[in-house]
Amino acid sequence: MNPMQPVWPPPPATPYTGPPAARIIVNAGFFPLAYIYAFFTPTITINGYKESRPWGTYIYDVPVGDYEVAVSYPWLFAPECGRNQVRFSLRQGEIRTVTYEAGMIRFLPGKISVS
């Protein structure tokens, strides 16, 4: 497998059909007074796989392994504004929560943490 290819989700030819080995919970939000962010849909990236979802909390059942989770949002001519990322490993039965909050200054990375 090419190291540049996304690891999750598995390619359609070899889908992951086993029980959920681990879980990633992504909470993407913004400061309430910065309501203008509500007009833009953030992008959640897990190991290179991008998914546009509304602001909120999402649960991903994933196999055990190393993960890179990034969150960003489009802004006019910048498709990945406020992008920030975290890296971590997941073991069997482990649950990690990634929390992202968009910054007040759009072109600076948002605040991200993993617990």
Model pLDDT, residue 8:
56
The SS3 of residue 39 is helix
Domain coordinates in residue numbering, the chain: 22-114
Dump pLDDT digits (tens) for 39-92: 889 999 999 899 999 999 999 998 888 999 999 998 878 788 889 999 999 999
Dump pLDDT digits (tens) for 4-47: 445 555 544 444 556 668 999 999 998 888 888 888 899 999 99
Model pLDDT, residue 105:
77
HSE-up of 104 (CA within 13 Å, CB side)? 3
Closest CA to 54 of 41, 68, 44: 41
Q: Is the pTM of this model over 0.75?
A: yes
Return d(Cα 19, Cα 16) in angstroms, integer: 9
User: Over 54-114, what HEC string results?
Assistant: CCEEEEEEECCEEEEEEEEEEECCEEEEEEEEEEEEECCCCEEEEEEEECCCCCCCCEEEE
Q: Which CATH number fits domain 22-114: 3.30.420, 3.30.70, 2.60.40, 1.20.58?
A: 2.60.40
Model pLDDT, residue 91:
92
